[in-house]
Each structure stands twice: as structure tokens, then as C-alpha cells.
Structure 1
Amino acid sequence: MDLQSGYPYSLIRNGLPFNYPWLETDIRTDVAVIGGGISGALTAYALTKAGISNVVVDARTIGLGSTAASTSLLQYEIDTPLYQLQEKVGVAAANSAYELCAASIGELERICKALRFPHFEKKHSLYLASYRKDVSWLRKEYAARKALGLKMEWWEEAVVLDKMGFSAPAAIYSHTAAQTDAYLLSHALHQHNIRHGGAVYDRTAVVDMEFRPRSVVLKTAHGQTITARYVVIATGYEVLQYIKLPLLKLNATYAVVSEPNHAEEQWYNDCLIWETKSPYLYMRVTSDHRVLVGGRDEPFYNPTRRDKLIHRKAAALEKDLRKKFPDIRFHPEFKWTGTFGSTEDGLPFIGAFPPMPHTYFALGFGGNGITFSQIAANIIADLVQGKKNPDTAIFSFNRKIRHSR
């Protein structure tokens, strides 16, 4: 599947920082990770840290799938508000999911420090009520988060106006957020893993899987084989080639980034901004002082239809920004689109899928796939080592979802 198109900002800025070989011989390993984007890279890092030999393979050049299109916001909030998630999956599971997402931001910070990776910035996050009708449920959301002990503030309309310079009926101002560069971080993780005995092969498509009693044999498009005790599938939205079930709904999202303009001086604390409306608008300032605006999602039908909308969607996103910040000098420089998946409850799928033995999935769907990827890395590293992980059930393929009336 063609997962992104246009000129993703990180890809344009950073190019191809490293080259990786394609697989040319048959090999054996403890774990084969299919997918070299941020999910596969974080999983391989966790395995390497645990002393487990692993090999990463990707059908593309490393990072050129959804990871290149990521806008790299790190938030503990998932696409389903906490109070609604409590109704869908139960209070305990919903609370744990939010706590895990919050904790993963700190874990990602520690990983970046260990790698000496400079592109991690702590931020605050502002969740705006788009309409007055949203205030009542946003208060419920605030109460649910407060009961969980998450650090945040409630902003009335006057506070939003005073702090931000534009009007919104209310907002939640969260103290736990960050931003990074998912594309560069993936490469930094791969380079670390290679230095510690791992291997990464790109342009190496897996076309067949043979499940044996104690191993899985992967066959590549060029005829090589990888024999592994376990396989981790971290292919994101292309997972539908492995699991023929209606697991997710595909959407196309759009983003545009400006020329450098020092817009961080225009709003409070240089916070991340997003809204309650669906699809939601989000914006942040990059480390090189550009404004990045994203949203305007559409159901995904095919790449051609998705790509035709890039210029129109970018213009609409620029208009959305100007409604809030009319004085910002916003000259669009790069615009792009990417395909992403969403699940019924907003949670990812992580762990075993019974019809496929010796196989684990790391599928971080939704708007904060990077934090989900870190959670998946921790869970899968435990499972491969034969350890029980109490969080596995929350993200299981067999989890129960209560349907809203």
C-alpha cells in the first residue's frame, strides 16, 4: 500500500540519513521484526536491550512508510476520551491505557537521552473545546483525568483568550506531552541496534510465512529465508495482508508546514494544540521554528483520490490556523498526506493472534501511534522472554468492547 505522498517535512529536512543492505543470504535469529518504521525500531531496541538477537526487515527503504509522514506529537491522550473509553472497555483498562501512554512519554525521553538523540522536546498540550456543546463532556473528561492523577488545568473561556489570544469555550491544559522526529528516531534506534549485534535489511519483502512447531520461516521476494523463534509484525496499516479481519478503519490525514517564522512567540508556552471536533485540528511549532498544522482527515479509498486533495486540504488547514492566529506570518513550504488506521475503541492491537503461532503484533493505531509503539515494545519484549505482562489483555485482539447505545 502507498502510505504517504507529497513532501513530508522530516523526510525533506533529513533526507536518507543511513543506507541499509537488502537480505542476500538465508539467516537465523531469535526474533524477526517485519516493519522498520518507529514501531519496529522501538521493538527491536527493547529486544536488543534484553539481550535477544533480532533482525528487522522492511519491504521499503527504512522509514518511508507512515513513519516519514508522522507529525511526531507525543501525548498521553488517545483518540477516544478517557471517560468514553471507560464506558467501552471498563474503568480499570481505560485508566491503565492512559497511565501507560503518559508513562511512555517519559520512557521515550530516557531512550532519546541514552541514544544522545537531540530531537526530543518536553511540551505542554492544550485540548480546546471546539464548540460550546463540547464543554459539558470536556468537563467530564477533566474529572476523569483528575481522578487518575494526571497533571493538568481547567481553562475557562477567559483564560483561553488571555493565554492564547483567541477565543474557545473551554480547554484542558495538560502538563505531560512532548514532540520528536519519528523518522530520525527510527534511524537512531536502528543504528544503536546494529552496533549492539542487530541487523536491519530494507527492500526485503516477506512474501510467505511457514509456521513450524518451534519456529517461523519467512521467505522473501528474492528467495532468501529467515528462520526465527518468534516473529513480530510491525507493519502498521498494512497488517490487513496478514489478518483478514475488520480490525480498523483507514483514513487519510493531511499536514502542512510553514517557512521558519518564530511562531512559538505567538502562543502560550509553545504548547501543542488540538481540538475536540472530529476530525480534529492540531498544530505545533517545530524545532527550527516552523508551524506545523494537521488534520482535515478523510476516509481512505485509494491513494489517487487521497493525493488529489493535498493542495485543497493544505489551504483549508492554513485557513484554520489563521482563524486563531491571524497575525502569524504563515507561508506554506511543504505539504503531505498519509494513511492511518483507527480502531473502534481507539486502542492499538498488541500481542499474540492465535491463528498465527510464534507471532506477535505491534500495531500502534490512532493519533498517538508513537506512544502505543513504546507500550508494544515493552509488552513484546516480555512475551518473547516468557514473562507475563499485566497490560497484554488491555490491547489483546480478544478484548471486549462495550458498544455505546
Structure 2
Amino acid sequence: MRLRHVLAGAVLPLVLCASLWLVLPLGSEASPQGRAASLQKKIDTTRGKIGRRKGTEHVLTSDIQRWSTRISKLQGSISTLQTREQRIQADLDARRNELVSTQKQLRSERARLARLRARLAEGRRILSRRLAELYEADKPDLVTVVLNSKGFADLLERGEFLGRIQEQDNNVIKLVRDAKADATATAARLDKLERRQQQLTTIVLQRRDQVAQVKQQLIDTRVGYQQTRNDKKNALGKVRTERKSLETHLDELQKESDKVQAQLQGGGSLPAGPIKGGSGRFIWPVNGPLTSPFCESRAWESCHPGIDIAVPTGTPIRAADGGRVAIAGWVGGYGNYTCIQHTASLSTCYGHQSVLKVSVGQSVSKGSVIGLSGSTGHSTGPHLHFEVRVNGAVQNPMNYL
């Protein structure tokens, strides 16, 4: 029992220490140094995500270019199909007009054939009756007509009557013969027109099917075009939205990191160091290696508008020349941004500062400290973004340093 109490007395302090160690915040995390390290880790993670999004944007841009080429080809196919549809529609209209004309002519020929057949039937009936009459009556010879006549006048009258009968018989025969020939010819034309009607009907149906097929092809092609365009916009828009959201989050993290850096420095800054001159009009605003030259091409911009000089956060920034402060504040991707007007057309600008030490309208001399370097705005790490502008247009700073 005594041994148990002894062990309990020895173990209990150890348990309490372990519990306090687990419950209480770590010194490294709770301290400004811990916060700075944590923020830097989050910043690095966010920058990695932004880099991946930019890479995705680059891939999507290339992919969109390929799709744009395909879409251009599809648009050419659509134009070709539209021309073909118009041509087939014109041909279809012509065939329909020809069919209407043929059907009208066919109806006329059918009516004429019916009339001819009725006329032929009537002629045949008359001819049959006349033949029956001739068969039943003896053919009068010239002697009988002369002997039975009551004089010369009666003879002439009977001769004229016989001539008229002969003429009428000839007319009936001619009528029957002509009607038969006309009916035969009309029947042949009618048969030809009927075959033509069938051919035209088949052609019209084929053309109609072709037009329907071409229209369906046009619809399918346009649907594909719309779908491709929408997919392209949605994919690019989604990635850009994600990147902008991450960049906004990165700006907030960087601002907080700069505050922590200022806290760690006790409100002060690193030593300003000696002034670095060159062969040009301006002095170097900071002493550090050049990490990005002027007009460098990047994934998000075709021409970097200044130069980047790598220095630790909190490094004093000197005015490249004397002048009046025209801009001093937060400017989008530049973060904390200062511009100094040296002449009516010449000015210099300083981006991504952690602290601004001048205000708009203030006069500064060459070499005076105007702020502290940092990584505010759209920045990949602590550095100074330095610009030279003439009438507002960026110039290569190396020509002035």
C-alpha cells in the first residue's frame, strides 16, 4: 500500500505536466515567431495552389486554342451545309413547280382523252349504223337512178343526193379514223406524263429527305458548337475564379505576415545600408540581386512592367531621386505602392512594400527612406518591384540606374 502511494506521488506530477503540455499552446506557435512561421507556411501553400491554378489556366488556354481551331472548322462545315441546304431547297422548289405543271397538263390530257374516246365511240356508232343501212339496202346503180327519175331536174337532184351521202360516209369514216389515231397518240402522251409524274414524285421525296438530313446535320453541329463553347467558358471561368479567390486570400495572409514582421522588428526596420549608385541618373532603391528583368514574360502577363530586386522584408527603400510623392497607398496587385514625380514626365514607382513612410504631396530628397520592403499584393516572396515611367508609360529601369 505504501509503495502504491509512493508511485502515485511520483507519477501524478508527470501526468499533470504532460496534460499541461498538451492543453497549453506551444510557445513557438503562440509567439510572434510561431505566428510568422505558420503564416509563412500558409503563404507558401497558397502560392503553390495559385501556381497550380496558373498552370491549369495555361493548359486550358492551349486546350481552348485547339478547341477554337476545331470550332472554326465546324463553322466552315456549317456554312457549307447551309449552302448545300439552300441549293437543295431551290432544286426542290423547281421540282415541285415542274410537278404541279405536269399534273395540270396530265389532267388536261386525261380530259381530252375522255372527250376523244366519247367522240370515237359516237363515230363508231354512226359508222356501224350506216354500214347496217348500206347492207340492208341495195347499192343504187346509175341505170336505176336514171330510169326512176322524173326528168332531168329530178335526175340532177338524185345525183346530188347520192354525192352528199357518199361525202357524209367519207366524213364519218375520216372522223372515226382521226379520232382513233388521236386517241392512240393521246394515250401514249398520257402514259409518258404518268411515268414523268412518278419520276418527279420520287425526286421530290428524295430531295425532301436530303433537306431534312442536312437540317439535322446543321442542328447537331450547332449543338456541338454551343456545348464546346460553354465547356470552354465554364472551365476557364472556374479556374480563374479559384485563382482570384486564392490571390485575395494570399493578400490577406501577406498583410498579416507583414504586420507580424513589423511586430518582430519592434516597429523598426533593417539597416538602410549604403547608397548604391550607378552610371545613370537614379540610385538603386535597395541593395539586392535582380530576380526579374524588365518585360519578362510570365503566365499571367506578357511583359513584366518593372524589375524585381530580392531583399528581406523590412529593408528600407530609398527614393531613386528627389521629387514629390504622387501615389502612396494600396494599389491592387502592387500592394503598398508609392510613386514619386521627379519631373513633369518622369517618375519612379515602388511596389509590394510592407510599410509606407511617406504620404501624397510630400517632398522627398534623393536617397531618403520612403518605405520598407515586403510582399504585399500579388507577390511570390519578399522583394521590391521597381518601375520607371515616362508620361505614365513604363520604361526599362536599367537605362536610368
TM-score, length basis structure 2? 0.17
1 or 2, which has the higher strand percentage? 1
Report which of the two has the higher share of helix: 2
TM-score (norm 1): 0.17
Q: Which has the higher contact order (CA 8 A, sep 6+)?
A: 1
Greater Rg by CA: 2
